[in-house]
Amino acid sequence: MTDESGNTIYIDEAKTIKSQQLNITGNGAMKNYTNEINTFFDQNDITKSAYIRTKAPWGAYNNQITQINIEEGITDLGNNSFVGLDKVTQAKLPDTLEVIGASAFYLCKNLTQINIPSSLTAIQYAGFYATNLENIVVPSTVSYIGEVAFGGNGNLEAVIIEGTPSLDTNVFSGIGDVADERTWELINTHPVKIYCPSNLDCNNKGQSANGTIISYQSSNDTGQFIIEGKFYNSLSDLLKGKSMPKRIYTIDEASKVAGKKNRFSIKYR
């Protein structure tokens, strides 16, 4: 089968495999997608709840896909690429990736593990809105972070911004807030630490009620970072004991299962 741009899509629809993987290969930018929105809600039948999900070819498989693997060569994730894939827990991004498009991972509410490569230059509007990430490290290569890019992440514990990107408004709106999915009433809330370089104005750009801004500076003499009067050999030291290891999110290499049958694949030419 092919998508609306004529790209060949390979989808294996075996229902017996519990863990399904979406593989995207090719070169250059993915296309932008729109979303399918169902506003109908039945209080007596949870299976008929309102939803929003991508109109990308793999959107119809949102109840099966648990892993996303973007292979080397892809430079841009298109707008709304993975909206509403709420069974996805892991995503692997390539070292060729430069842009995470608007709402790319919007409402991937079970996404806990993703790597943010040092090739990345921009995270657009709502790129990671309402995921389940605990820690986020933004590499120094990123020059722009869009509005509510990290908003709605109720499980978030810490954000580290390694460079001095241009921040749009409300980048961290709603972080640390957990709301009921049906009523949107606040269930729980907790403060989130946002580590910013001392020359980046995080207080006026992207601050939220739960975001505690902690400025840091680097020491040219030692190569260390000075945060609240303490020296750290790397910013990742701040997250020791947390679920995120080392510098960026890591997951088991998705390529280990890429050769198995029963997977989702799309090739961009």
* DSSP string computed for 57-85: GGGGGTTTEEEEEEPTTEEEEPTTTTTT-
- pLDDT at residue 226 in the model: 80
How many degrees, rounded to 5, is the angle at CA 95 between CA 248 and CA 66?
70
Low-confidence ranges of the chain (pLDDT < 50): 1-18, 40-42, 46-48, 241-269
3-state SS, residue 241: coil
Q: What's residue 117's pLDDT?
A: 93
Give the per-residue pLDDT at 207. Answer: 58
Instruction: Please say whether the beta carbons of 7 and 33 come within 8 A.
Output: no
pLDDT, position 131: 92
> What per-residue confidence (pLDDT) applies to 153?
87
Which pLDDT belongs to residue 41? 47
